[in-house]
Amino acid sequence: MNLTAQLKYHINYDLLGPAVLRFQRWQDERKIRAAATKNGDALLAGTLRTTARMKEMMALHYLQGRYANRVKKVAWVTSGAPVEILKALDFVLIYPENHAALCGARKQVVEIASAAEDAGYSRDICSYARTDIGSLISGKTPVGNLPKPDLLLCCNNICQTVHYWYRVLAAHFEVPLVLIDTPFLYTDAQEHQIAFVKQQLEAMIPIAERVAGRSLSYARLKEVARYSKEAAELWLEILNRAQHKPSPITAFDGFINMGPIVDLRGEAETVALYASLLAEVDERIAAGVGAVRHERKRVLWDNLPIWFKLGKLSNLLASHGVNIVVSNYTYAWGELAPMMDIERPIEMAARVYLHPILNRSTGDKLRAMKKLVADFALDGAILHSDRSCKPYSVGQIDQRDRLVKDVGIPALLLEADHNDPRSFSDEQATGRIEAFVEMMG
């Protein structure tokens, strides 16, 4: 271990960073409380107080990554990867997709992704991938810098793009790449499919141990799995509170606060954060506070959010009394919690990571949306036809038509891109959303 790197890590991550971020969180909390006091007539109830704590956690996570090289082992992982094994081996985990979403929210994607496009990567490729590769090429990022990975873990349960994307990363960094291949599910997973994934996870362990320079503790793995399960259960409880009328949260609150369930699964701090968030949401319910002050209509959001337009879309919909109360995207991080068995963590991972919504059929996704419509008493649905996420968008025309015909609710197909503003038209989106609101009555 490099002594200079260890000293920088200790000073910046253990000492200075937490103090600065804690002070920033206090300032943010004060602003949130002040806004809630002054804006009693606002369209939206405002930012949840716990969001300030979430931002502190995510900033500290990226700060750790910034100084991790030569102190800790680093793994870059896909958002649907079985990370509990790596977490138990004390890897610092970096999620390029989350980093790309952060670039989108900070409105830096065009500048960063253009570097990848200038190097020959087509705009038809996922904007997350172009943002990540563009960041490697240009060195630009809103988080200071990302650490070099010692290991890459790619799971193709979300799309095949990640496989090719991570092969680019493996060639660039010259580090081992582990691919977990998950069979696509047309029905619930069969035992032979679970065994197939479990075998791959077991084969990954010695590779990860060799890179980590330590042996896997199964006691520690079970502890990490328990934290993952508890966080997922709390996340599901939080999202299900939107079944209350008026809903105390919006799907945009879910988009904003989902970072830890993606990036920090398996950590005690994530469990504590979501316990606090759930308590705050329950406070709103007890006080009769709706996230949209004058909630008239309740709507489903299908697919990824449009990161660079979260605020504008939220305010536009709220101005019409419309609350996007649930999204199958954020719901995906909680709905599999009942499958988690912490006593058998490797088999648990094999089963759970086979079942993400993007690894299941379009018919299964339609059934899941119909259930959300019923459970949350929804009046309509917006299906984000995402130029970048083709696996999530396939079948949406039929799904929209079936929601209209079978369930009897208006459904809007909204064309955009989750991260690249060049594939979005403000005027067109506003016009289509307003027409959709009129259809709901």
Give me the pLDDT at residue 36, please.
80
% residues pLDDT > 70 (the chain): 99
Give me the pLDDT at residue 41, please.
65
* Distance (Å, whole) CA 199 – CA 183: 13
Q: Kindly list the strands in the beta sheet with 297-302, ordered across the sheet, starting from the edge strand earlier in the chain.
A: 322-327, 297-302, 380-386, 411-416
Give kind and range of the element (H or E) at residue 381.
strand 380-386
* Confidence check: pLDDT of 435 > 70: yes
Who wins on pLDDT, 33 or 398?
398
Strand-pair category, 177-180 with 92-94: unpaired
Domain boundaries, the chain: 3-440
Residue the block writes with tokens 């328990």: 226
- Say if residues 387 and 417 touch (Cβ distance below 8 Å): yes
Phi, psi of 416 (to 5 degrees): -165, -160
How many CA atoms within 13 Å lie on the side-chain side of 251? 31
DSSP reduced 3-state for 412: strand
Band the pLDDT of 187: cuts 50, 70, 90.
Answer: confident
> Looking at 203-349, which runs of residues are DSSP E strands?
297-302, 322-327
* Confidence check: pLDDT of 39 > 70: no
- Say if residues 81 and 353 touch (Cβ distance below 8 Å): yes
Token pair recorded at residue 111: 């500048």
DSSP summary character for residue 160: S
Q: Kindly list the strands in the beta sheet with 151-155, ordered across the sheet, starting from the edge strand earlier in the chain.
A: 92-94, 74-77, 151-155, 177-180
Q: What is the mean pLDDT of residues 341-355?
A: 95
Band the pLDDT of 1: cuts 50, 70, 90.
Answer: low
* Confidence check: pLDDT of 268 > 80: yes
Sign of CA dihedral 329, 331, 333, 338: negative
Burial class (CB in 10 A: 0-12, 13-18, 19+), 191: exposed
Residue 356 makes CB contacts below 8 A (sequence gap 6+) with: 80, 157, 158, 332, 336
* Confidence check: pLDDT of 152 > 80: yes
Give me the pLDDT at residue 409, please.
98
- Say if residues 129 and 165 touch (Cβ distance below 8 Å): yes
Q: Which amino acid is at 273?
A: L
Give residue-wise pLDDT tens across range 273-328.
999 999 999 999 999 999 999 999 999 999 999 999 999 999 999 999 999 999 99
- Closest Cα to residue 259, out of 270, 267, 248, 275? 270
Give me the pLDDT at residue 37, please.
78
What pTM did the predictor assign? Answer: 0.96
Give residue-wise pLDDT tens across range 63-107.
999 999 999 999 999 999 999 999 999 999 999 999 999 999 999
Give residue-wise pLDDT tens across range 398-424.
999 999 999 999 999 999 999 999 999
Give residue-wise pLDDT tens across range 214-245.
999 999 999 999 999 999 999 999 999 999 99
- Say if residues 295 and 44 touch (Cβ distance below 8 Å): no
* Distance (Å, whole) CA 405 – CA 395: 15
Number of neighbouring beta carbons within 10 Å of residue 127 = 29
| Angle at which helices 218-240 and 345-352 cross, to 10° | 40
Q: What is the mean pLDDT of residues 31-46?
A: 82
Give residue-wise pLDDT tens across range 391-400.
999 999 999 9
Give kind and range of the element (H or E) at residue 77.
strand 74-77
* Confidence check: pLDDT of 40 > 80: no
Give me the pLDDT at residue 188, please.
86
- CA distances from residue 114 to 26, 117, 173, 419 in whole angstroms, order as listed: 37, 5, 21, 13
- What residues pair up with 92 in beta bridges, in sequence order? 74
- CA distances from residue 221 to 84, 268, 346 in whole angstroms, order as listed: 7, 13, 9
Band the pLDDT of 42: cuts 50, 70, 90.
Answer: confident
